[in-house]
């Protein structure tokens, strides 16, 4: 079996909270040596984002909470006071032979510490320096801090999410998970991998990458946003309605709900047959998908009445036989008990000092030749400080002195 794709790549990671750490975690899964820099004493801000926390064997309070655990496996944690001159020198020493430098500080903050792109480039011309921010390195909002929910609002995502106007509970709604952070993490990984390929395979140079949540959320609204650019009309919220094929949405059965997406005319005819209303497939108002889109409210209302006649399991079984995409609306417990999810191994176990059988979510990428097999537990705060500093020439006495001065 081949080595992992990023074996030999060294990353100095100064990112915190979610978008940057998720990207660094993805790269660590793929074999990169990710050195996570954290503040002495408190660490990554995510460690203070609330419960649940792992249970310390001695019953002590700790900072290993679920928010931190989701984005920091396969890394080494080193505590460094970046505001101190000695701490800055440690970061520069680590960056001298690094391939990638990641940070998500406010624009310009690291320049006063001598850790900005130009300063790091001066000691390592080939460095891939990636800045992850809310609004980017340029533009009037560049100095602002930005969190996922703010960007969901400002980037238009919330405006098209939520109940249809006129329905109870109408109004803009945030997507549950921090989806913009996750997508920004993916864009960050793509940017870093592309820059590494450009440098190492195409004879290119190092460069500064500017990835932000604002650009990401706008780009992610692609098939919702492009119609606006074509016709200038702001799209309405559609609730659970689909984004192309019609009818599509959540339908209530006698004992629960299911999601159905009728993607083409053939599927529509077969769904009508399953529902016991084959005549709908030849109704001039519904024959073609464009017709059904124009008469969306009417066909959705008809389907809603028909689905109310039988339980979820019946409909799912019959729709699967008919080749119509549908699925149950699972909560997380149902997701991880689903036989397909189990077969895909989406829950992995790691050995953490506080929990020998800690569950994590596996990397979503599957390789045939270089599979991700090793999942190391998210590190405790500063767990690898002495180990990493020893690799750049700091002996035990110097490490102890730095710790006494609260540099590390």
Convert the pLDDT of each residue in 142-151 to its tens digit.
999 999 999 9
74-110 pLDDT, tens per residue?
999 999 999 999 999 999 999 999 999 999 999 999 9
* One domain, residues 128 and 207: yes
Give CA–CA dist 104/145, Å, rounded. 10
Whether pTM exceeds 0.75: yes
For residue 32, give the CATH number of its domain. 3.40.50.10540
317 counts as catalytic: no
CATH number at residue 272: 3.30.1540.10
Q: Is residue 230 part of a domain?
A: no
Confidence of residue 242 (pLDDT cuts 50, 70, 90): confident
81: which 2 tokens?
């006071």
More confident residue, 166 or 137: 137
In a domain, 233, yes or no: no
357 and 267 in a common domain:
no
Among 330, 362, 389, the domain-final residue is 330
- Is 127 inside a domain boundary? yes
Cβ-in-10-Å burial (0-12, 13-18, 19+) of 115 comes to buried
Domain co-membership, 320 together with 359: no
SS3 assignment, position 326:
strand
Q: How many domains does the chain have?
A: 2
Q: Is the dihedral of CA 235, 238, 244, 245 positive or negative?
A: negative
Domain end point (choices 330, 361, 393): 330
- Check whether residue 318 and residue 394 sit in a common domain: no
Query: Within a domain: residue 2?
Result: no
Instruction: Look at residue 351 and tell me if it is in a domain.
Output: yes
Domain of residue 379 covers: 10-219+344-404
Is there a domain that residue 243 lies in?
Answer: no
Q: Give yes or no for a contact between 104 and 132, defined as CB atoms under 8 angstroms apart.
A: yes
205 conformational bin, left if phi > 0, alpha if psi -120 to 50, beta if neither? beta
Looking at the structure, do residues 39 and 109 belong to the same domain, yes or no?
yes
Residues 175-227 have pLDDT tens digits of: 999 999 999 999 999 999 999 999 999 999 999 999 999 999 999 999 999 99
Residue 39 DSSP symbol: -
> Of 29, 116, 181, 210, which one is the catalytic site residue?
181
Residue 233 CA, chain-centre distance (Å), reads: 30
213 falls within a domain: yes
Domain end (from 304, 330, 356): 330
Measured from the Cβ of residue 112, the count of other Cβ atoms closer than 10 Å reads 10
Whether residues 358 and 400 fall in one domain: yes
Same structural domain, 298 and 397 = no
pLDDT band at residue 1 using 50, 70 and 90 as cut-offs: low
């Amino acid at each position: 079996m081949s080595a992992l794709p990023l074996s030999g790549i060294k990353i100095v990671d100064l990112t915190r909270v979610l978008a940057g750490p998720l990207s660094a975690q993805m790269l660590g899964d793929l074999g990169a040596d990710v050195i996570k820099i954290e503040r002495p004493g408190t660490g990554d801000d995510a460690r203070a984002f609330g419960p649940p926390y792992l249970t310390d064997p001695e019953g002590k309070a700790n900072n290993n909470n679920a928010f931190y655990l989701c984005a920091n496996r396969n890394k080494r944690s080193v505590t460094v006071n970046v505001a101190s001159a000695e701490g800055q020198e440690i970061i520069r020493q680590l960056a001298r032979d690094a391939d990638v430098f990641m940070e998500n500080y406010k624009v310009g903050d690291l320049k006063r510490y001598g850790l900005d792109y130009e300063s790091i480039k001066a000691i390592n011309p080939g460095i891939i320096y990636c800045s992850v921010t809310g609004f980017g390195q340029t533009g009037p909002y560049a100095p602002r801090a930005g969190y996922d929910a703010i960007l969901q609002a400002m980037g238009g995502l919330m405006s098209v999410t939520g109940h249809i106007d006129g329905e109870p509970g109408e109004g803009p709604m945030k997507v549950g998970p921090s989806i913009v952070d996750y997508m920004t993490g993916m864009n960050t990984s793509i940017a870093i991998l592309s820059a590494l390929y450009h440098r190492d395979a195409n004879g290119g140079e190092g460069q500064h990458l500017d990835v932000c949540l604002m650009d990401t959320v706008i780009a992610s609204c692609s098939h919702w946003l492009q119609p606006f650019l074509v016709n200038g009309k702001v799209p309405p919220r559609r609730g659970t309605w689909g984004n192309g094929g019609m009818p599509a949405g959540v339908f209530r059965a006698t004992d629960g709900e299911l999601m159905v997406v009728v993607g083409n005319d053939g599927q529509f005819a077969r769904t009508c047959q399953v529902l016991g209303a084959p005549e709908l497939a030849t109704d001039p108002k519904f024959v073609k998908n464009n017709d059904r889109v124009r008469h969306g409210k009417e066909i959705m209302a008809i389907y809603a009445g028909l689905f109310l006649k039988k339980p979820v399991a019946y409909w799912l079984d019959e729709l699967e036989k008919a080749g119509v995409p549908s699925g149950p609306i699972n909560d997380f417990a149902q997701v991880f008990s689903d036989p397909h999810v189990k077969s895909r191994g989406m829950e992995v176990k790691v050995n953490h000092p506080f929990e020998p059988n800690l569950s994590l979510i596996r990397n979503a990428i599957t390789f045939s030749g270089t599979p991700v097999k090793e999942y190391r537990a998210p590190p405790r705060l500063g767990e690898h400080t002495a180990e990493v500093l020893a690799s750049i020439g700091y002996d035990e006495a110097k490490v102890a002195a730095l710790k006494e001065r609260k540099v590390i």
